[in-house]
Each structure stands twice: as structure tokens, then as C-alpha cells.
Amino acid sequence: MSNYPDNLKYSKEHEWAKLDGKIATIGITHYAQDSLGDVVYVEMPAVGKEFKAMQEFGVVESVKSVSSLYCPVSGKVLERNENLDKKPELVNTSPYDAGWIIKVELSDPSELNNLLSSADYQKLLK
Amino acid sequence: MSEQLKRTPLYQKHLALGAKMVPFAGWEMPVSYPSGIIAEHTAVRNSVGVFDIGHMGLIKVQVARGKGQEEGLDLIQKLTTNDASKLAVNQCQYSVLCNENGGALDDLLVYRFADHYMIIANASNADKVLARLRSFPSATKVSPWEDHAMLSIQGPQAVRLVEKALAVSLSNLKRNHTLEEKNLIFSRTGYTGEDGIELIIDKIEAPKIWDLFIEAKIQPCGLGARDTLRLEAGLPLYGHEYDEETTPLEAGYPWAVKFDKGDFSGRAALLKEKEGGLKKQLVGIELEGRAIPRQGNSILDIRNSILGVVTSGTFSPTFKKPVALAYLLAPCPLSLASVFVEIRGERVPGRVVDKSLYKRVK
């Protein structure tokens, strides 16, 4: 079960969000990184950019393919994980920790209710 | 369209190794193992890797001798671009099956054995190639060889490790030649830009031989690494660098088109193109930055005019940067160095280089 931590919320597009006050940290799930294979580039938005829920905010490229990243909640980008520029493989090796992608200031915290729990996300994967 | 995907005799072996299986040209094949594409690619460049290539289409062409002519040879000569009459027994050559316009129906290896020829077609084109060969009026028997399996062992250590694992001597086996021993066919060929052996074996023997290589700590490699390795080496993949509108001259294989061997399908069109100039030419592109070019991305000049199109792109595990194979359309100065690749609406600067981005130090 540790592949999908209970304290995170999940989107059907395989992103996760971790809430800390009004700030959500966003990344991709274990399933997503495993499906993509070796991640070699993560294209991230500029700090300050605003996104609506489920709007595309970047792409993650693996050796084989390119995949869009969707912002699970509406908000403004506060920070991006600059370590991914040098070490995109962190998305594979540590998807929920060192491999986080952006931090967003939520504009509508109620949207978190639209996201899935760990148990529901795992049901989706079956 | 719910046709069952075909499986090679190594299917269970791939599952046991934890491979990610994907549909490819009607087959269920490993795209990568848990080690990942980059590790598999690097193993082949630095030491050795083994691939299941049992999806390739093997076609036997019988040599019917009559009226002073070998009919199997005649069939191959009339349909493919290279000169198969130059093949000695146990030798093979790269060749292209063209339509009358010179467009590629498939690219092939043509093997000569003592009592037959063998053609290795791409999995995606195997049925098309077979139909084309059979449509040609000839008494020659053309049949798919379906009881085979095929393994490819590639990398600087490949020959040494195959010799050791199978107790054979391959030191006298030259590039593009075969050795038949112990019911196996050893072919010194490959699709990675490295030295290596392709093994054609009986289906029943395949799992046992695969295990010998895995026990010898040879890295299993999937279609993902096969693609990045061939791309770096500038080797064309049908559906990317080749299609029915693309000629072998454009793909960079003028040496595989032998105009002096007599008539063959596509000869007139190819000769016209050779004399009149190529419509497009395959090149390599090295990109700055991190965004990865993909098939269909446009190549632009500084004024945003379209110069060509990307046919394959990836992150090069060897050079650790994005690379592509692309067709530049004529009239395009081939001395041209700086271009832009349009990726997701952004113009990414790149540099035109030889299509063989990677060249093995021999």
C-alpha cells in the first residue's frame, strides 16, 4: 500500500496532491512514473502562473513518450522543483518526495473533495 | 479487430523477469525490464544485452534450379534493390523491397543458404512482403518460416559471451555472414550500431538458450532500448524513416540500390530520382535544451520556413541530450547547420549532423 500513501489525494490523470494549509504540493503517482519508464525531462510552468483544475500545466518526457501534466486543483504556482532540471529521474526514484513537481496556492480548497483517496485511486488502477 | 496478439516462445521468460509488455505489430513484446530503457541501452553500448526478436518475419525462398537459372534468385533480384547474385552461401545483405515508384514496401535482410534464400522482414510488414513475393510469377516456393525464434545479442562483449555460453567459435565469422552449427544459425548482424550476433533457432530450443544468456548475466533488453540504440546509429525504422513514399536513396542507402544488376521493381523511378536529385534526405539533429523531439515535429529555419520533419526522436542515453532523425526537404542546403525544431509550439535550436549520430569505434 505504501505505493499510494494515505495522506495524499489523487487525480484520475495520475497526479497526487499533498495539502499543507492553503498550499498543495503536486507530483505524479507511482503508477504514472512506472508506466512512463525512465523520466528524462520535466517541463514546468513559471512561478506565478495560474491554472484551473485539470488544466495542463506541463509535460513529463520519458525516453519513449511524452505525457501531459494536469493540475489537480486550481491555483497559482508558488514554487517548482528546480532539482528536476538536473535530476529528472527523481520522479522515478522518489515520486512522492524528492520527485515532487510544483507547489500551488489553492484558489478553491473545496476542489480537493473532487480528488480520490488512496483506496479509491487504487480501485481505479485495477 | 479483436485479433489475439501473438507471443514468442519467450513470453513467459519476459513475465518472470518483470518485463513491461506492449502490443507491437500484432505481437505482445517486452518494451523494457525493471532496469529501465537507459540501463538496457547503456549495457549494450558498454558491454552486452540480449533481445527477443522473435517477432521478425522470416520468409524462405526456395532455390528451384531449372533451365539454367536459379528461380529463387531471379525472384529476389526482380523485387529487391540490392544485388543478391553477389551473395556467397552463408552471406547476407541489406536490401529494400520497393514499389514501382521506388517507395519502400519494407527494408530487409536477404540471406543465402546452401539450398534456399531467406528474407527477414519487419514484423509490421511481414504479411505484405509475403504477398508481394507470392504475387510475382515464379515457380519458386515462398513460405513463412514460423517455427523459428530469434535472439539478438549485441554489444562489444556480445561475440565473446555467445562463444562462451554456447561453446562455439565465432572468431572467423565476418560481419553479414552466417555460421550454421549445433542446429543454430549465428548471424553477425544487428540493429544497434554495435557488434553482435543474431541467433535463429528452433522455437522449442529458445527458452533454454535464453536462460543460458540470462545466467551469464547478459542484460535483457526490450523494444525501448532497441529503438534508442538504432536511432542513435541512424538505422531506419519502417513507419518512421521509411514508408511507401520514401525511397532507399532518400533514407541514405544508395549502396543498397544496384542499378547495374538488371531491371527490378522501382528501378526506373529510382534512377530518375538519382539523376534528378533527391526530394528529401535523412539527417541527424542534435538539440539544445531538454525538450525531446518526436515524430511529426517540424524543422524550421530562422525565418520559420519549414525545412523538413522529424521522423524519430528521443533522449539519447549515450550523449545525454535530445536527438532526432529527420528528413530535410530539397532544395535545402546540406551545409545548413543551425535549425529549429518546433516542439509544443516552441522553437528549440538544434544542429544538423550526420544521421549516424553514434559510430562504433572499431
Please determine whether the domains at B11-54+146-232 and B279-353 fall in the same fold group of CATH: no
Q: Is the pLDDT of residue A2 over 80?
A: no
Instruction: Give the tens place of pLDDT for each residue, A78-92.
Output: 999 999 999 999 999
Distance from CA of B292 to the nearest CA of A (A): 7
Q: Which chain B residues have a beta carbon less than 8 Å from that of A32?
A: none
User: Residue for cell digits 543474431?
Assistant: B198
Q: Which chain A residues have a beta carbon less than 8 Å from that of B224?
A: 37, 63-64
Please indicate if any CB of chain A lies within 8 Å of the CB of B26: no
Domain range annotation of chain A: 9-109+117-121
Q: What is the pLDDT of residue A126?
A: 87
Q: What is the pLDDT of residue B111?
A: 97
Instruction: Give the tens place of pLDDT for each residue, B284-310.
Output: 999 998 899 999 999 999 899 999 999
Distance from CA of A40 to the nearest CA of B (A): 7
ipTM, two decimals, is 0.84
Please indicate if any CB of chain B lies within 8 Å of the CB of A59: yes
Q: What is the pLDDT of residue B1?
A: 47
Q: Which CATH number fits domain A9-109+117-121: 2.40.50.100, 3.60.21.10, 2.60.320.10, 2.40.37.10?
A: 2.40.50.100
Q: Which chain B residues have a beta carbon less than 8 Å from that of A92?
A: 36
The mean of the pLDDT values for chain A is 94
Which residues are bridge partners to A25 per DSSP? Answer: A18, A103
A61 and B315 within 8 Å at the Cβ level: the answer is yes
* Helices then strands, each counted (H, E), chain A: 4, 9
The yes/no answer on whether domain B11-54+146-232 falls in CATH 3.30.1360.120 is yes
| 3-state SS string for B21-57 | EEEECCEEEEEECCCCHHHHHHHHHHCCEEEECCCCE
Q: What is the pLDDT of residue A1?
A: 46
Please indicate if any CB of chain A lies within 8 Å of the CB of B344: yes
Instruction: Return the CATH fold of B279-353.
Output: Elongation Factor Tu (Ef-tu); domain 3 (2.40.30)
CB atoms within 10 A of CB A30: 17
Domain range annotation of chain B: 11-54+146-232, 279-353
Instruction: Give the tens place of pLDDT for each residue, A31-60.
Output: 999 999 999 999 999 999 999 999 999 999
Q: Which chain B residues have a beta carbon less than 8 Å from that of A38?
A: 36-38
Instruction: Give the tens place of pLDDT for each residue, B111-153.
Output: 999 989 999 999 999 999 999 999 988 778 899 998 999 999 9
Among A33, A38, A66, most B C-beta atoms within 10 A, so best to mutate, is A38
Among A42, A43, A63, A84, most B C-beta atoms within 10 A, so best to mutate, is A63
Q: Is the pLDDT of residue B312 over 80?
A: yes
Q: What is the pLDDT of residue B331?
A: 67
Q: B279: which residues sit within 8 A by CB, 6+ positions away? A: B250, B273, B329, B330
| Angle subtended at Cα B80 by Cα B78 and Cα B82, rounded to the nearest 5 degrees | 110
Distance from CA of B329 to the nearest CA of A (A): 26
Q: What is the pLDDT of residue B332?
A: 66
Please indicate if any CB of chain B lies within 8 Å of the CB of A83: no
Q: Is the pLDDT of residue B314 over 60?
A: yes
Q: Is the pLDDT of residue B335 over 90?
A: no
The answer to whether the CB of A38 falls within 8 A of the CB of A92 is yes
